[in-house]
Amino acid sequence: MQPGGWPVPRSSTKSKKHSAAQLSDDELRKRIFANIAVLFPSSPSPLESNPYEIVYASKAREGDDGNPWQYAMVVRRNPNGGFTPLIKGQSWATSQPWSMILQGLLDTTATLIHKTIGQATMPQLGLYEALPRYTPQAQQG
């Protein structure tokens, strides 16, 4: 117990970013693709279930023969076989683990959703038809 207060569960003192970093790479990819589907709605081709891919590339640093810049980005596969870059994500040093790069892409997509949807203006009250209230049905027995 903390002095003069209630016990605080250890799980509530951890930051959300720390717990999100504990997700598996597959779970991070699923969340990134879910966010991308919200940001860039697209009907997938009948041959492919997911038109999006996470790719990486490298670019030499100017005036330096050391480690190149590494970039992770999200691309959309086009019907003609090409790719359209959607989000150029994080750049990182080669010493960083791949899961941290995926976490960075997830943060980027979540921020874009917040900026896109969070800035939307709400409709005026009374503009749309009121929905009926939910009333649980009495169970018949």
Question: What pLDDT was estimated at residue 81?
Answer: 82
Give residue 83's identity as a one-letter amino acid code.
F
Q: What is the mean pLDDT of each run of 10 residues along the chain (141 residues)?
A: 49 48 84 87 62 80 70 83 80 71 86 79 58 59 51
The Cα–Cα gap between 96 and 70 comes to 10
Contacts of 61 (CB under 8 A, 6+ apart): 67, 68, 69
Is residue 68 within 8 Å of 60, Cβ to Cβ? yes
Return the pLDDT at 15.
Answer: 46
